Amino acid sequence: MLLKGKVVLVTGGARGLGRADALALAEAGADVVIADILDAEKTVSDVRSIGRKSLAIKMDVTNMGEVKEGVEKIKKGFWLHRCPRKQCSDFGSSRPII
């Protein structure tokens, strides 16, 4: 559980290598946000089956506005409402791992 308590953002995680990365990160203990232009609910469902929190965000990584909006959604929306207080407070101080 190397990544327990960490939140990672995987871009292009709806399928292919990004999806494989998302599942591997979840196996290593991370909660995983999937950002993609495609529907990523299958990856989200599989991450949750591993026992980690997960969220899909529609995001085109070539669009800076969508990237900023997505990051704000993670910080203000999902994690603050659904994660335990300690993990929420840890989120702001977490360092990127990928």
Ligand X SMILES: NC(=O)c1ccc[n+]([C@@H]2O[C@H](COP(=O)([O-])OP(=O)(O)OC[C@H]3O[C@@H](n4cnc5c(N)ncnc54)[C@H](O)[C@@H]3O)[C@@H](O)[C@H]2O)c1
The binding site for ligand X (CB under 6 A) comprises 11-12, 14-18, 36-38, 59-62
Minimum Å gap between C-beta 88 and ligand X is 26
Q: List the structure tokens of 26.
A: 């979840």
- Which residue number, 31 or 36, has a Cβ lying nearer to ligand X? 36
Minimum Å gap between C-beta 13 and ligand X is 7
d(C-alpha 63, C-alpha 11), whole Å: 13
> Does residue 15 sit in helix, strand or coil?
coil
**Given strand 7-11, what is the order of strands in its sheet?**
7-11, 31-36, 54-58
Minimum Å gap between C-beta 89 and ligand X is 29
